[in-house]
Chain A
Amino acid sequence: MRPLTEDETKTVFEKLANYIGRNITHLINRPDDPHCFRLQKDRVYYVRESVMRFATSVGRPELMSLGICLGKFTKTGKFRLHITSLEFLAQYARYKIWIKPNGEMSYLYGNNVLKAHVGKMSDDIPEHSGVIVFAMNDIPMGFGVTAKSTADARRLAPTGIVAFRQSDIGEYLREEDTLFT
Chain B
Amino acid sequence: MVRSKPKVGRKARMKQGPVPSLDEFYQGILDPRKTAQQKNNESESRKRKREDRGASVKSKREKAVFEKAKSDLFEEENVEEEQMVAGEDDFYEFGDEEEQFGIDEEEVEDDNENESDEVYDSEDENERGRAMFSDDEGDEDLLEAANQQGLANVFKGDSEDEDQAEGEDEFVNSDDDFEQGDEEDVEINVDSRVTNVLPSGQEIEAPSNVPPDIHISRTRIQEILNVLDDFNKYGEAGRSRSDYVAQLIADIANYYGYTEFLAGKLFELFSPREAIEFFEANEVPRPITIRTNTLKTRRRNLAQALVNRSVNLKPIGNWTKVGLQIFDSQVPIGATPEYLAGHYIIQAASSFLPVIALAPQENERVLDMAAAPGGKTTYISALMKNTGCVFANDASKARTKSLIANIHRLGCTNTVVCNYDAKQFPHVIGGFDRVLLDAPCSGTGVIAKDPSVKTSRNEKDFIDLPFLQKQLLLAAIDSVDANSKTGGYIVYSTCSVTVDENEAVVDYALRKRSDVKLVQTGLEFGVPGFTSFRGKEFNQKLSLTRRYYPHTYNVDGFFVAKFKKMKVAEQKPNGTSKA
Interface residues of chain A, those whose CB is within 8 Å of chain B, are 47-48, 50-51, 54-55, 57-59, 61-69, 84, 87, 104-105, 108, 135, 137, 139-141, 169-170, 172-173, 176-177, 179-181
Among A59, A104, A170, A180, point to the contact of B408 (Cβ < 8 A): A180
In the complex, the answer to whether A66 meets B419 with C-beta atoms within 8 Å is no
Chain A residues with CB under 8 Å of B389's CB are 50-51, 54
Number of A-B contacts (CB under 8 A): 99
Given contact pairs A54-B429, A108-B337, enumerate 15 new A-B contacts (beta carbons under 8 Å). Answer: A51-B389, A55-B416, A58-B416, A58-B429, A59-B428, A62-B419, A63-B418, A64-B417, A65-B404, A65-B407, A67-B416, A137-B305, A139-B341, A172-B405, A180-B400
Q: How far is the CB of A165 from chain B (nearest CB, A)?
A: 14
> Taking the nearest CB of chain A, how far is it from the CB of B451, in angstroms?
26
Contact A169 B418 (CB under 8 A): no
Q: Which of A62, A64, A87 gathers most chain B CB within 10 Å?
A: A64
The residue of chain B having its C-beta at the shortest distance from the C-beta of A47 within the complex is B413
By a beta-carbon cutoff of 8 Å, the part of chain B in contact with chain A is 305, 334-335, 337-338, 340-341, 343, 365, 389, 391, 397, 400-405, 407-409, 411, 413-420, 428-429
Given A48-B413, A48-B414, A63-B418, the answer on whether A176 and B401 have CB atoms closer than 8 Å is: yes
User: Are B405 and A63 in touch, CB under 8 angstroms?
Assistant: no
Find out whether the CB atom of A181 lies under 8 angstroms from the CB atom of B404: yes
Chain B residues within an 8 Å CB radius of A179: 405
Q: In the assembled complex, which residues on chain B have CB atoms less than 8 Å from the CB atom of A169? A: 337, 340-341, 409
Closest-CB distance, B35 to chain A (whole angstroms): 54
A68 touching B413, Cβ below 8 Å: yes
Is A58 a contact partner of B428 (Cβ separation < 8 A)?
A: yes
Q: Say whether B416 contacts A54, CB under 8 Å.
A: yes
Residue of B with least CB distance to A88 = B413
18 contacts between A and B (CB under 8 A): A48-B414, A58-B428, A62-B420, A64-B400, A64-B419, A65-B400, A66-B415, A66-B416, A67-B413, A67-B416, A68-B413, A104-B337, A135-B337, A137-B305, A139-B341, A173-B340, A176-B401, A181-B404
A94 to chain B, nearest CB (A): 21
Determine how close the nearest CB of chain B comes to the CB of A78; give it in whole angstroms: 21
Which one of A67, A69, A139 lies within 8 Å of B337 (CB-CB)?
A139
Closest 3 pairs between A and B when the two form their complex, measured CB to CB: A169-B340, A57-B429, A65-B417
Which residues of chain B are near A54, meaning CB under 8 Å?
365, 389, 391, 416, 429
- Nearest-neighbour CB distance to chain B for A106, whole angstroms, equals 11
- Decide: A176 near B405, CB < 8 A? Known: A62-B420, A64-B419, A170-B340: yes
Complex alpha-carbon distance, A173 and B337, angstroms:
11
Contacts of A61 in B (CB 8 A): 419
Q: Which of B404, B407, B414 meets A51, CB within 8 Å?
A: B414
Residue in B closest to A176 when the chains form the complex, CB atoms:
B405
Instruction: Tell whether, in the assembled complex, residue A51 and residue B416 are in contact, meaning their CB atoms are under 8 Å apart.
Output: yes
A106 and B419 alpha carbons, distance in the complex (Å): 37
Distance from A21 Cβ to chain B, minimum over Cβ atoms (Å): 22
